[in-house]
Amino acid sequence: MRIGDAYLNGTILNNRYEIIKRLGKGGNSKVYLARDLQIEGSFLAIKQMFVEYVDYDQYLKAMQDFNREAEILSKLEHPSIPALHDFFLMEGDFFLAIQYIEGLSLEQKLNQSKRGWMDEKQVTLWGIQLCDTLNYLHKLNPPMIYRDLKPANVMLNEKLQQIFLIDFGVARFVKPSVSVVTAVGTFGYAPPELLQGRVTPASDIYSLGATMYHLLTGVIPELPDILFECAIRVLPRAINRDISCEMEKILIKALSTSPEHRFCSAQVMKSVLEEHLDKIINEKTTKESVDSTLKYPPKEWESHHKKVNKPIKINGRLKIYHQKKKMAEFLIKKASYSIGRQDPAKGTIPDIDLSLIDQSGKISRKHAQIIKLSNHYYFEDVGSTYGSLLNGEKLNVAERRLLRSGDRINLGETTLEFIIEKGTDQIGN
């Protein structure tokens, strides 16, 4: 039985799989624990992928995404990657039947930690296992780039002390000749080059470094600056004094702004982590005072954008929230800003790119714009598929509305809060 887009316990899918309970929910998917009625004692994870579409092109894309994930999983054979058992279409939704991994995600383990972070030895062990999995993916021909490594996508089976990489929805094979891909991933773990639509195995190295940083500090490492340039602002030992100097250097290298400055392969990073684990076991790591931590920012983290020393005139700010969580802040400095999700293959690169913040599928490539007219800023929906709300009111396409300080704009699962700089009655003067 189905209510909305969810199936109730006891429902039989595809005349074979009996739903026992729901395990989790993502942006456009739900995962259930199910019993395989054709194999006694067999339990599987059933991933339901649903999509809201308004035309044939969107439905076709959803089908292509589903087929891609099924194809990818069917070709993978690794002890840390759940095996695909079946896939099918039912009532307009797509389903994958995957090996069930009993346990918690590393994000759930981190949330359970009383200290707010995980033990360095344990994170090192997990890092070694993840390097082994990434090395397998990167050695395929053509290489497979996972593109969305984060604690929520890593499951831990504590009985086996083995981790599993789950959710290959955005993974893809990337030939060396491919120069541009769609920017996907998760804000905070995605490397800078992914924002420009470029991806290599080094992109996964960055995401692994970000994952380890998060587990060791309890903080997502990448705090985007107000120009949306990636800038990691806090060294890990400034947050957690128990992190060794050696581990901090490993994280700095993995999180280098330039791909060429990171570990040259997952295998090389694995070897470094194995050497570090040996130091931990033999108590040969260094934990100097926080004052002696590397200078900030380390050269590996410096932005490659040319710095301009001219003063910047600030008119206002946009605070960007996703599902009520603040994700970023953007300076309002010029006369117009395009808002949407980037697609380099189609030449679409908006000024305010929400592709890594909101993956609900409800942000159009060319969604909206903020424009300045007569010393005031206005918001306009330029023809998005799912529309825009201003302070809860749905706007018509091409309808321009005056923005006042405190106004809230809703696009998909994202909220933009418009703020006029303190001490001004209007902007642009």
3-state DSSP call for residue 206? helix
Q: For position 366, which CATH number holds?
A: 2.60.200.20
Query: How many independent structural domains does the chain possess?
Result: 3
Q: Are residues 75 and 57 in the same domain?
A: yes
Q: Are residues 142 and 278 in the same domain?
A: yes
Q: Are residues 322 and 297 in the same domain?
A: no
pLDDT in tens, 224-257: 443 444 445 678 888 888 999 999 999 999 999 8
| Cα gap 33→47, rounded to integer Å | 9
| Cα gap 421→419, rounded to integer Å | 6
Q: Are residues 125 and 79 in the same domain?
A: no
Could you tell me if residue 161 is inside a domain?
A: yes
User: Mean pLDDT score of the chain, rounded to an integer?
Assistant: 83
pLDDT at 223: 47
Q: Which of 44, 74, 99 is the last residue of a domain?
A: 99
Q: For position 227, which CATH number holds?
A: 1.10.510.10
| Among the ranges given (134-143, 344-353, 416-425), the one the predictor scored with the smallest mean pLDDT | 416-425
Q: Which of 278, 301, 324 is the last residue of a domain?
A: 301
3-state DSSP call for residue 133? helix
Whether the Cβ atoms of residue 241 and residue 120 lie closer than 8 Å to each other: no
Could you tell me if residue 88 is inside a domain?
A: yes
pLDDT at 51: 62
Rounded mean pLDDT, 17-38: 88
3-state DSSP call for residue 208? helix
- Bond from prior residue into 142 cis (ω within 30 degrees of 0): yes
Rounded mean pLDDT, 183-212: 84
Higher pLDDT, 315 or 30: 30
Could you tell me if residue 269 is inside a domain?
A: yes
Rounded mean pLDDT, 343-357: 84
* Distance (Å) of CA 172 to CA 49, 67, 115, 194, 283: 18, 12, 36, 13, 40
Q: Are residues 128 and 276 in the same domain?
A: yes
| Cα gap 326→418, rounded to integer Å | 13
The number of C-alpha atoms within 13 Å of 409 and in the hemisphere containing its C-beta is 28
pLDDT at 202: 96
Could you tell me if residue 309 is inside a domain?
A: no
The answer to whether residue 126 scores a pLDDT higher than 90 is: yes
Could you tell me if residue 394 is inside a domain?
A: yes
Domain range for 68: 2-99
| Cα gap 429→413, rounded to integer Å | 33
pLDDT at 229: 47
Write out the E strands in 297-398. Answer: 316-322, 325-332, 336-340, 352-353, 368-373, 376-381, 389-390, 393-394
Q: Are residues 135 and 261 in the same domain?
A: yes
Whether the Cβ atoms of residue 134 and residue 202 lie closer than 8 Å to each other: no
Rounded mean pLDDT, 297-311: 58
Could you tell me if residue 425 is inside a domain?
A: no
The answer to whether residue 373 scores a pLDDT higher than 50 is: yes
Q: Are residues 121 and 266 in the same domain?
A: yes
Tokens at 241, concatenated: 């004094």
| Cα gap 259→199, rounded to integer Å | 9
The answer to whether residue 145 scores a pLDDT higher than 60 is: yes
pLDDT at 52: 60
Rounded mean pLDDT, 138-162: 92
Could you tell me if residue 31 is inside a domain?
A: yes
Could you tell me if residue 273 is inside a domain?
A: yes
pLDDT at 377: 86
pLDDT at 347: 80
| Residues whose CB falls within 8 Å of the CB of residue 182, separated by 6 or more in sequence, listed in order | 197, 343, 344, 345, 355
The answer to whether residue 402 scores a pLDDT higher than 80 is: yes
Q: Are residues 138 and 229 in the same domain?
A: yes
Rounded mean pLDDT, 181-204: 77
Q: Are residues 142 and 241 in the same domain?
A: yes
| Among the ranges given (119-133, 172-186, 261-275, 373-387), the one the predictor scored with the smallest mean pLDDT | 172-186
Q: Are residues 87 and 120 in the same domain?
A: no
* Distance (Å) of CA 162 to CA 6, 150, 165, 171, 392: 31, 16, 10, 21, 46
Q: Which of 301, 332, 350 is the last residue of a domain?
A: 301
